[in-house]
Amino acid sequence: MRSKRRSIIVITSIVAALVLVAGFIWVVAHPYGSINLADSNQAKSDTTNSNSNSGASSNSGQSNSQPANTTPTTPQSPAPDPSTVKSLDISQLGLTLNYDRTLPGLSYEIKRTGSGTQYVSLTYDGLIGEKCTGDQGEFASIIKDPTSADSIAITSTVKLGNDTYSLALPDNSCTGNVDLFNQYQASMKANFPYMKLSQ
């Protein structure tokens, strides 16, 4: 009887330790204050990764709800000088986005939030940190036709054709290179208002 009781205590202790470890890992992977539209438990990926030289993807779908407090951004300065920017064609959405030529490059992936809102996750491998489990070096997201649930993350919005696109910038708590992360975000903020439909 004593041996059986001891076995139960050992098994219960092991299970409790595993629950504590799993809870710790979850907290580290989901830090407070971080905006991550692609929560691994909720997001569905529409496509595979693409680099800044090409766009490849296949899927369609739209959300009809608009965020409550979002007004389109009008560029306040002249369009960027073509000699200072590179272009990224996001072919599935028919978009062309510029970013600073001085940046080493970027990749994108078309994804969906748990509620179905389509967005573009912009990443660079050199921004991947070790602080957050599953960090992919994401420095910005472009949300297509965001809903009011997405509006918390929105910093800028443009209207192109019949669609609204919003820029969301996560905090830098996960990155391994804060300075470069800030450069990428500054480039997106400056160039986002000039995003256009591909020709």
Tokens 């496509």: give the residue.
47
Identify which of 100, 109, 120, 126 has the alpha carbon closest to the alpha carbon of residue 185.
Answer: 100
Neighbours of 59 (CB within 10 A): 12
SS3 84: helix
Residue type, 27: V
Q: H-helix or E-strand containing 23?
A: helix 2-29
Cβ neighbours for 135, distance < 8 A, ≥ 6 positions apart: 128, 129, 174, 175
What is the token pair recorded at 92? 């599935």
Task: Tell me the pTM.
Answer: 0.61
| Predicted local confidence at residue 16, as pLDDT | 77
Neighbours of 103 (CB within 10 A): 19
| Predicted local confidence at residue 61, as pLDDT | 35
CA distance 199 to 100: 21
| Predicted local confidence at residue 139, as pLDDT | 93
Q: How many CA atoms lie within 13 A of 179 on its CB side?
A: 0
Each domain of the chain, given as residue ranges in start order, spans: 1-30, 36-197
| Predicted local confidence at residue 17, as pLDDT | 74
What is the token pair recorded at 185? 């975000």
Convert 70-83 into a string of H (helix), E (strand) and C (coil). CCCCCCCCCCCCHH
Provide block-wise average pLDDT over 10 residues at a time, the chain (199 residues): 79 77 53 38 37 36 39 55 83 89 91 87 92 89 84 82 91 91 92 87
Residue type, 58: S
CA distance 182 to 175: 10
CA distance 180 to 158: 25
